[in-house]
Amino acid sequence: MQFKEIIGQESIKQQLLQTVAENRVSHAQLFLSSEGSGALPLAIAYAQYINCLDKSDEDSCGICSSCRKYERYIHPDLHFSYPFFAAKDVKIAVDVLDEWRSMLLDDPYFDMNIWRSKLSAENKQANINIAECHDIIKKLSYKAFEGETKVLIMWLPEYLDKEGNSLLKIIEEPPLNTLFILVANNQEQILSTLLSRTQIVKIPKLPHTTIEDYLMSKHGLSENQATEYSFLADGNLIEAKELVAHTHNENADKFAEWLRMGYGNRVLDLTAFVEQAAGWGRENQKNFLKYGISFLRECSLLLSGADDLVKLPAAALQTAQKLSAHVLDLNMADAIITELEKAHYHIERNANPKILFLDVSLQLVKIIKFKTFPKGTQYIYN
């Protein structure tokens, strides 16, 4: 991948080019960005530029033997690490390398949900395990095969648990001509011991105008459509592409119906919903709760009169407007968000999903139907 293929981020490209020109490439770097900003493509383009045999001042050549292998992600000195779902035949990241390369070739702008859909995730939770850490150490202990620099790009180091501490020595004292690039979305979820050993490169959100231009040139949208989708995506190119493709978000329908069940005190329907939700698997349950929290925050903006700040697709916006006009108020939205955040916290810690979703469902009935807030909250209902 060449720098010219990456959407926007011109200042970051120049910053990276300058580090190579001035021979001050840090051996361990953390590319920190929000989703859809292009951090992973930037990391790959940077690695390709460093190993290019005929680089210019602005980009890799794209035609030398090194670049041709980088374009297909098969260069022997380019290594990837990423979250995966361990199984009997999947012990380390290399076991799903074909799926990883296929996804990169298809579109290098993707998130964890898209990656999850390419694998047999079932009810498993993604992580970067100790076996993967040992494999990284083993791979990087070899000499470079072809290029001057061995490169390891780790996508989403947030999925490293304490096992990541096994990498500290090789990151702090790497073999000769070795480059680590960590590509992350959430600094707070990364091991502090890893953070302290990396140089952070902060990658900003894509400007609305950049996404607008991309949607008009690549997808043929009108200026009005591109402007609307860019506003809804809020700097996330992945979200913008999903809006163009009219990707249906099942969480939107499920969550709206869940609220309706609570408002109607439909106990039998709520019980059936709990049974269904309990079988989704932990990651899907967490995504559902995260969607609900985001949706209710948008409802809170509507209730506060900040309609211009709301970023919801048309169908979800219509639902939010009806709820805000006839059912919810700010106190209710705040109370439900608190319950969902607690549920998300407990799901991450292996709570029984059936008991948890039943409890939250009953809290919904109390809050929405009977305007009774959970004990310990400080709401004063007007």
Q: Which residue has the higher pLDDT, 89 or 315?
A: 89
**Average pLDDT of 73-102?**
91
CA distance 244 to 240: 6
Determine the pLDDT at residue 381: 46
Tell me which of 30-34, 126-130, 161-165, 371-375 is least confident. Answer: 371-375
**Looking up tokens 């639902």, which residue turns up?**
319
pLDDT higher than 50, residue 234: yes
311-334 tens-digit pLDDT: 777 778 888 999 898 889 999 999
Determine the pLDDT at residue 380: 47
Neighbour tally for 117: CB within 10 Å:
10
Which tokens go with 203? 């990658």
**Average pLDDT of 184-203?**
90
The per-residue DSSP string of 351-371 comes to --HHHHHHHHHHHHIIIIIS-
Highest mean pLDDT among 163-172, 239-248, 264-273: 264-273
Edge to edge, the sheet with strand 199-203 lists: 78-81, 150-155, 178-184, 28-33, 199-203
Nearest Cα residue to 191 out of 165, 155, 173: 165
CA distance 241 to 219: 9
Determine the pLDDT at residue 132: 93
CA distance 80 to 47: 12
CA distance 116 to 99: 11
CA distance 252 to 271: 19
pLDDT higher than 70, residue 368: yes
Q: What is the mean pLDDT of the chain?
A: 88
Tell me which of 27-36, 37-46, 236-245 is least confident. Answer: 236-245
Neighbour tally for 54: CB within 10 Å:
11
Phi and psi based region of residue 327 (left: phi greater than 0; alpha: psi -120 to 50; beta: remaining): alpha
CA distance 357 to 362: 9
The DSSP 8-state label assigned to residue 200 in this structure reads E
Helix (H) / strand (E) containing 122:
none
Looking at the chain, the whole-number percentage of residues with pLDDT higher than 90 is 50
pLDDT higher than 80, residue 171: yes
Determine the pLDDT at residue 199: 92
Terminal CA-CA length for the chain: 58
CA distance 307 to 318: 12
pLDDT higher than 50, residue 379: no
**Is 227 strand, coil or helix?**
helix
CA distance 72 to 50: 16
Nearest Cα residue to 267 out of 369, 373, 375: 369
Phi, psi of 232 (to 5 degrees): -65, -35
Class of domain 246-370: mainly alpha
CA distance 227 to 210: 10
Which tokens go with 23? 């021979």
Cut 0.75: pTM above it: no
Determine the pLDDT at residue 246: 58
Q: Where are the domains of the chain?
A: 3-204, 246-370
**Looking up tokens 């035609």, which residue turns up?**
63
* Amino acid identity for residue 306 in this structure: A
Which tokens go with 366? 């109390």
**Strand 199-203 vs strand 178-184: parallel, antiparallel, or unpaired?**
unpaired
Determine the pLDDT at residue 382: 42
Determine the pLDDT at residue 375: 66
Q: Which residue has the higher pLDDT, 271 or 381?
A: 271
Looking at the chain, the whole-number percentage of residues with pLDDT higher than 70 is 96
Q: Which residues lie closer than 8 Å to 11 by C-beta, 6 or more apart?
A: none
pLDDT higher than 60, residue 229: yes
116-154 tens-digit pLDDT: 888 877 667 888 999 999 999 999 888 888 878 899 999
CA distance 38 to 41: 5
Q: Name the CATH code of domain 3-204 (choices 3.30.360.10, 3.30.70.100, 1.10.8.100, 3.40.50.300).
A: 3.40.50.300
Neighbour tally for 37: CB within 10 Å:
25
Helix (H) / strand (E) containing 202:
strand 199-203
Determine the pLDDT at residue 175: 86
pLDDT higher than 50, residue 165: yes
pLDDT category of residue 3 using cuts at 50, 70 and 90: very high
Determine the pLDDT at residue 70: 93
CA distance 89 to 87: 5
pLDDT higher than 60, residue 226: yes
pLDDT category of residue 285 using cuts at 50, 70 and 90: confident
